[in-house]
Structure 1
Amino acid sequence: MTTQTSSSDERADGQLARSLGHGQMAMIAMGSALGTGLFLGSGEAIALAGPAVIITFAIGSLIAATIALSMGEMASRHPVRGGFGTLAARYLSPFWGYLSRWLYWIVTVGVTGAELVACAAYLSYWAPGVPLWAGILLFAAVIVGINLASVGSFGTVEFALSSVKVIAVAVFIVVGAFLVFVGLPSQPAPGLALLTADGGFAPMGWAPVWVALSIVMFSFGGIELLSITAAEAKDPARSIRTAARTTVVRLAFFYVACISIVLCLVPWRQAAGTGEDVATSPFVMVFDRVGIPGGAHVTNLLVLIAALSAANANLYAGSRMLHSLASDGLAPRAVAWTTRSRVPVVGIACSSIGILGAAILAFSGVGGVFGYMMSLVVFSVLMVWTLILLTYISFRRSGTTGATFRMPGGIGTAVVGLVGLAAVFATVAVRPSMQVAAMVGVPAVVLASVLYLAVARHRIEPADIDEAFAEAETMR
C-alpha cells in the first residue's frame, strides 16, 4: 500500500472515508443511471422500434437487474475499494481486474464529459448567447467543487439532486397515467389506442426491438456505482442489500412506465422525431397536453438537473476507480493521495480529463459526436458488465459465504444476463454507430492489454489486493 507523508491539514494515507448511508448509495446509483438516456436517448430508440420499444426497455431492465443484484451480493460480502474491478482481480485474474477497472474509468470520463455537454445545451435554451464551451466549464466547476468536499457532503448533495429527479419523474408518471386513463374535459383519455394506431405495436417488425437495445442500455449505465460506493458505506452489508434492491425496482419501473406513458399520449412518429431539442421532446409534449404554463421550462430544468447529477456521480466513480488502481499499483501511486477529508483529489483531477476534452471539442466547433460517444460508452460498459457477471459466476463457484443477500437464481440468472449482453453486442453488425464504437473500443482493449503485459503486471502486488479484502472484512 501507498505510504506518504501527512500533515495536520492533509492526509496522504490513501484511505477512503466510510460516510455513505444506504439511502445515499441508492441515490448515487440512481443519479448516474437516471440521466440523459431517458430524456434524450429515448427518441432514437422509439424511431427504431416504435411502440414496441416498451419491450426493449423491459428487457434492458431485466439485464440491468442481473448486473445490479450480482454486484450487490458480491459487494455485501466484500465491500472493497475498486468494487467489481478488485473482485475480478480476486475471482478471475489480476489482468481482468486491471482491464475492467481501466475500461470503467474510461466510461466515467466519457459520460462525465457528455453529460456536461448536455447541461450546457440545456443552459443555452434559456441563455442562447452563452457559448457551449463556457456552459461546460461553468457546470464543471460546480461538480468538481462538490466532489472536492468530503464524501459525506458529496452524498448529501447527490441525494438531493437525485431526489429532485425521482420526484419529478414520479409526478410525470402520476400525471401521465391520469391523462391516459381519465383524461381532461378538453382532452378525452386515449387509453392504449395510440400503441397500435399507426402500423401496430411493432410497426417495423420485431428485429428492431433487439437493435434498439444498443441505445436503451445506455440508460442503465451507472448501476455499477453500487459496487464502487461499498468502500465508503457506513454499514456495507445493510446499505448494499437495500440499495441493490431499490435501485433495480425504481429504474425498471421509471423507465418502462415513462416510455409507456409517452407513447400512449404522443403518436410514436412524433416522439421519434424529437432528437435532442428540449422544447419538442416527448416529455415536454406530455406536459404541454396537461396545459402547464411554461411546461418546456419545467422540463428543461428537470433534464438539466438529471444531466448534472449524472455527471457528478460519474466524476465520483471515476476518481474512486482511479484511486483503487493506484492503490493496487496499476496507476501512478500519486493518484492514491487523499486530502484530510479522505477525498482522492488527484484522482478527481485526472478524471476531469473528459470535461476538458468536451470543452475543447465544443470550442473548436466539432459537432455530431454525442451519438458516437454514447455508442462508445455502451460498448465499453457492456464489456465491464460481462466481466462482472463472469466474476459473479466464479464467486459463487468458489463457495464463498457470508453475503447478506443472494441474487435469485444465482449462476443461472447470471448466465441469462450474459446471453442478454451477447445479444446487445451483436447489434454491432447492423448499427453504424456501434461499428464505429467497436473500431475505437477494440484497439483500446488491445492497447490496454499490451500495457498490462509490458508494465502493469510487474507492478501487481498480491499483498495489495489481499490487504484490500482484509480491510473490507473488518468493516463488514
Structure 2
Amino acid sequence: MPDPSATAPDPASRLPDEHTLARSLGHGQMAMIAMGSALGTGLFLGSGGAIALAGPAVIVCFAAGSLIAACIALCMGEMASRHPVRGGFGTLAAHYLSPFWGYLTRWLYWIVTVAVTGTELVACAAYLQYWAPKDAAGKPVLDLWVGILIFAAIILVINVTSVGSFGAIEFVLSSIKVIAVLLFILVGLFLVFFGLPSAPAPGLANLTADGGFAPNGWGAVWVAMWVVMFSFGGIELLSVTAAEAKDPSTSIRTAARTTVIRLAFFYILAITVVVALVPWKVASGTGDDLQMSPFVMVFDRLGVPGAASITNLLVLIAALSAANANLYAGSRMLQSLATDGMAPRFFRTLSARRVPSRAILVSSAGIVLAAVLAFTGVAGVFGYMMSLVMFSVLLVWALILITYVVYHRRRDGLEVFRAPGGVVTAVVGLVGVIAVFATVAVVPEMRLAAMVGVPAVLVAVVLYLAVVRRRMDVSAIEEAFAEADAMRTRGA
C-alpha cells in the first residue's frame, strides 16, 4: 500500500480542472454544514417515536447517542484533518482498507443522503400542513407531496449555485436553528421551573409520572436507540466537506470539537425540556406520519401566544437545512465515485460554477421517491425512509471506525488533531453501533430495512465483482491523497 504522504504526480495533470472541486468553505461554514445535517428531523420530529418507546428515559438514549456520535466524529475528524480528500471517509476506506470497502462505504452513504434528503422534505411538508386550512374531518387540505415539491425546488436552486454560496446559505440556515434550539432550551427551562400564570411550573414531576422514568422497561430504552441515532446522522459531513475547505486541517479540528459539544448539549437538554413540560404519552402520540413536532406541541399545549407557530417555522427551517446539506453530501459522494471509476464518468463533470450539477440532479432521487410515496398515499412514509437510513448509516459508521483502527496503526505523526483515546475511542463507538444495529432483531421497521438493505448490499457486491473492479482507477485514489497532502503542506 503506498505511503499516503508519498510524492505523486501533480493530480491536475490527470484530472482536469473541470473535475476538481473548489476549496471555498471556511471554518464556520464547515461546522454549520455538519450541524445543518445532524440537527434536523431526527430531533425535531422523529423524537416523538423515541419518546413513545422509552418514555422519559429517552434522555438516557440521547446521552448514549451523544457518546457514540462523539466517538465517530472525533475519529473521523482526525483522519479528515490529516487527509482532506474528495469522497471523505469513503476514499479513506479505499486507501486504508481496500478499494472495495471504499466503493461500498461511499455507495451506502449515497443511499443514506438520498433517503435523508427525501425524509427531511417529508418533514418540511408536514410542518407546512400545520398552517394549512383543515377540511371537515380535520385533515389539511394541502397534500404532502405538494409541500415536498415546493421545498425540493428551493434546495435544488441552492445546490446548483457555487459552493461558496451554498456554504453561506447553509451557515445562515444552520445558525437560525442553533439559536432557535438554544432559545427553546432557555424558555423551556423557565417554564419547567417557574411556569406562567396560565401554565404552572411542572418541575420534574413529568419525568417520573405515568409509569416512572422508564415506563416500558430498560429493554425499551435500548430499542429506542434505533430512532435516536437517526438524530445524529450528518456528523459524517465533517469528512465530506474537507475536499472543499480553504484550510481543512484547522477547520476540521475546530468543527469536530464544536459539533460534538453542541450536539450533546442541544440534544440532551432539548429532549429533557420536552418530556419535562409535556407528559410523555402526549409527546409521543403521533403515529408514523407525524404532523406536529413534539417541540411545537410544547408551546401549543401551554397556550403561549404565537410561540407554537414560531417554533413550527424554526423546525421547518431546521429540516430544510438538513435536506440542503444532505443533497450536497450525496452529490459530492457520487462525484468522487465517478472520478475513481466506481460510478459512470458522466457524474464527475462539474459545472462552470465548479459544482457537480449532474450528480446533484441524480442525488435528488430521494425527493422524487418521497413525493411519489406521498402522492400515492402510502402510509408511514417518514418511518419507512428513516429505518432504511438507519440500516445504511450504521454500516457506514462501523466502516468509518474500522478504517480509523487501521489508520491509527499507520499514522505518521503529522496529525494536527488527534482523537482522545485513539483506538479505545473507536472501539467504544463500534460497540455502540453494533448494539444499535442489534435492534434489527426486535424492531419491525429495522427488519424491513434489512430486507431492502441486505439485497442492496449484495447487488453492490455483484456489480463490483462483475463491472467496477475492472473499471475503477486505483491511481486516482492515491493521487487524491497526494493532492490533499500537498495542499495541506502548502497551508492552502
Q: CA deviation at 1:289?
A: 5.8
Q: CA deviation at 1:277?
A: 7.7
Which stretch of structure 1 is more off in the superposition, 196-205 or 59-68?
196-205
Q: After superposition, where does 1:283-432 map in structure 2 within 5 Å? A: 283-288=295-300, 291-432=303-444
Q: After superposition, where does 1:6-17 map in structure 2 within 5 Å? A: 13-17=18-22
Three-state SS of the structure 2 residue aligned to 1:183 is coil
Instruction: Say whether residues 1:111 and 2:116 are aligned partners.
Output: yes
Instruction: Say whether residues 1:463 and 2:468 are aligned partners.
Output: no
Instruction: Say whether residues 1:122 and 2:134 are aligned partners.
Output: no
Question: How far apart are the structure 2 equivalents of 1:290 and 1:45?
Answer: 22
Instruction: Say whether residues 1:177 and 2:189 are aligned partners.
Output: yes
CA contact (8 A) 2:370 2:381 kept: no
Instruction: Say whether residues 1:83 and 2:88 are aligned partners.
Output: yes
Q: After superposition, where does 1:143-182 map in structure 2 within 5 Å? A: 143-182=155-194
Q: CA deviation at 1:346?
A: 0.9
Q: 2:69 aligns with which of 58, 64, 88?
A: 64
1:163-200 deviations in Å (ceiling 9; x for gaps)? 11111110000001112223334444322222112222
Kindly provide the amino acid, as one letter, of the partner of residue 335 in structure 1: F
Q: CA deviation at 1:20?
A: 0.4
Instruction: Say whether residues 1:24 and 2:29 are aligned partners.
Output: yes
Listed as ranges, the gaps of 5+ residues in structure 1 are 6-10
Which stretch of structure 1 is more off in the superposition, 130-139 or 297-306?
130-139
CA contact (8 A) 1:71 1:388 kept: yes
Q: After superposition, where does 1:436-447 map in structure 2 within 5 Å? A: 436-447=448-459
1:354-393 deviations in Å (ceiling 9; x for gaps)? 1122222222222223202101100100000000000000
1:97-131 deviations in Å (ceiling 9; x for gaps)? 00000000011111111111221222233234433
State the match for 1:52 in structure 2: 57
Q: 1:473 aligns with which of 485, 488, 491?
A: 485
Measured at CA, do residues 337 and 446 of structure 1 come closer, stay the same or move farther in structure 2, by a change above 3 Å?
A: same
Question: How far apart are the structure 2 equivalents of 1:187 and 1:303?
Answer: 23
Which stretch of structure 1 is more off in the superposition, 42-51 or 267-276?
267-276
Measured at CA, do residues 53 and 174 of structure 1 come closer, stay the same or move farther in structure 2, by a change above 3 Å?
A: same
Instruction: Say whether residues 1:36 and 2:41 are aligned partners.
Output: yes
CA contact (8 A) 1:67 1:389 kept: yes
CA contact (8 A) 1:105 1:318 kept: yes
Measured at CA, do residues 281 and 146 of structure 1 come closer, stay the same or move farther in structure 2, by a change above 3 Å?
A: closer
Question: How far apart are the structure 2 equivalents of 1:231 and 1:171?
Answer: 33
Measured at CA, do residues 188 and 43 of structure 1 come closer, stay the same or move farther in structure 2, by a change above 3 Å?
A: same
Which stretch of structure 1 is more off in the superposition, 361-370 or 224-233?
361-370
* TM-score, normalised with respect to structure 2: 0.92
Three-state SS of the structure 1 residue aligned to 2:174 is helix
Q: CA deviation at 1:132?
A: 2.5
Q: CA deviation at 1:290?
A: 5.7
Q: 1:226 aligns with which of 234, 238, 244?
A: 238
Q: CA deviation at 1:134?
A: 2.4
CA contact (8 A) 2:127 2:292 kept: no
Kindly provide the amino acid, as one letter, of the partner of residue 212 in structure 2: G
CA contact (8 A) 1:33 1:310 kept: yes
Listed as ranges, the gaps of 5+ residues in structure 2 are 1-10, 133-139
State the match for 1:215 in structure 2: 227
Question: How far apart are the structure 1 equivalents of 2:303 and 2:365?
Answer: 43
Three-state SS of the structure 2 residue aligned to 1:455 is helix
Question: How far apart are the structure 1 equivalents of 2:241 and 2:412?
Answer: 21
State the match for 2:78 in structure 1: 73
Measured at CA, do residues 113 and 63 of structure 1 come closer, stay the same or move farther in structure 2, by a change above 3 Å?
A: same
Which stretch of structure 1 is more off in the superposition, 239-248 or 359-368?
359-368
CA contact (8 A) 1:214 1:427 kept: yes
Kindly provide the amino acid, as one letter, of the partner of residue 163 in structure 2: V
CA contact (8 A) 2:289 2:381 kept: no
Question: How far apart are the structure 2 equivalents of 1:279 and 1:329?
Answer: 43
Kindly provide the amino acid, as one letter, of the partner of residue 28 in structure 2: G
Three-state SS of the structure 2 residue aligned to 1:357 is helix
CA contact (8 A) 2:274 2:294 kept: yes
Measured at CA, do residues 140 and 280 of structure 1 come closer, stay the same or move farther in structure 2, by a change above 3 Å?
A: closer
Q: CA deviation at 1:17?
A: 0.5
The alignment yields a C-alpha RMSD, in angstroms, of 1.8
Question: How far apart are the structure 1 equivalents of 2:341 and 2:13?
Answer: 12
Which stretch of structure 1 is more off in the superposition, 109-118 or 14-23?
109-118
Question: How far apart are the structure 1 equivalents of 2:206 and 2:129?
Answer: 33
Question: How far apart are the structure 2 equivalents of 1:282 and 1:369?
Answer: 18
1:233-263 deviations in Å (ceiling 9; x for gaps)? 0110110001001111111111110111111
State the match for 1:204 in structure 2: 216
Question: How far apart are the structure 2 equivalents of 1:75 and 1:239?
Answer: 10
Measured at CA, do residues 338 and 280 of structure 1 come closer, stay the same or move farther in structure 2, by a change above 3 Å?
A: closer
Question: How far apart are the structure 2 equivalents of 1:204 and 1:32?
Answer: 31
Q: CA deviation at 1:278?
A: 6.9
Which stretch of structure 1 is more off in the superposition, 281-290 or 68-77?
281-290
Kindly provide the amino acid, as one letter, of the partner of residue 402 in structure 2: L
State the match for 2:5 in structure 1: none
Kindly provide the amino acid, as one letter, of the partner of residue 235 in structure 1: D
Kindly provide the amino acid, as one letter, of the partner of residue 449 in structure 1: V
Measured at CA, do residues 281 and 326 of structure 1 come closer, stay the same or move farther in structure 2, by a change above 3 Å?
A: closer
1:63-88 deviations in Å (ceiling 9; x for gaps)? 01111111100000000000000000
Question: How far apart are the structure 2 equivalents of 1:279 and 1:106?
Answer: 25
